[in-house]
Amino acid sequence: MHKRSHTAIITLAFVQRDGTSEEGLLPLTPGWEILSSLTKRDSDLVIRKTINDSFYNTQLNECLNKLNAEKVIISGWATDFCVDSTVRAAVSLEHKVVVASDCHTVSDRPGLTAKQIIEHHNWLWANLLTPGKEVEVVPHFQLCR
């Protein structure tokens, strides 16, 4: 009896927002660079964006379609802006979306703590009405099995 092993091919897409020097996001400056604590391989994609939505006026959707991506796992900074916009756009483009529930973050906002924002968005994404593929919201360790 032979056991079949399924090896997933994972392509990472690092998304950088081109912003201003006042925001600390001026292209090719230290605040804009990919964090040195993240491991980026030569085969990984780098997508540059100008607004919250990682799909708007970028090649992200085209790249995912060329890769025949089975699912899009989303994590990142600014739960309530960039991550939320990207989740919703991916859903609208009919991708199978998975959010790593403990791998997105934000600073406290007026009236809400970061923890409240994160909890609310995890709940919201898990309950979005979608065109057929509901959003999975799971902790990162469930993605690593």
- What's the pLDDT tens digit per position in 62-94? 999 999 999 999 999 999 999 999 999 999 999
Closest CA to 29 of 19, 37, 44: 19
Report the SS3 class of residue 6.
coil
The total domain count for the chain is: 1
In a domain, 4, yes or no: no
pLDDT of residue 5: 46
The range of the structural domain enclosing residue 19 comes to: 13-143
**Helices and strands in the chain: count of H runs, count of E runs:** 4, 5
In a domain, 7, yes or no: no
Pairing of strands 45-49, 72-77: unpaired
In a domain, 5, yes or no: no
In a domain, 112, yes or no: yes
CA angle 7, 10, 12 (to 5 degrees): 170
In a domain, 119, yes or no: yes
Average pLDDT in the chain = 91
Residue 70 amino acid letter: E
Whether pLDDT at 54 is above 90: yes
In a domain, 6, yes or no: no
pTM (two decimals): 0.89
CA angle 129, 133, 135 (to 5 degrees): 70
Q: Give me the CATH number covering residue 53.
A: 3.40.50.850
Instruction: Say if residue 135 is exposed, middle or buried (CB neighbours under 10 Å; 0-12, 13-18, 19+).
Output: buried
Token readout for 109 is 């906002």
Segment 28-37 shows an average pLDDT of 89
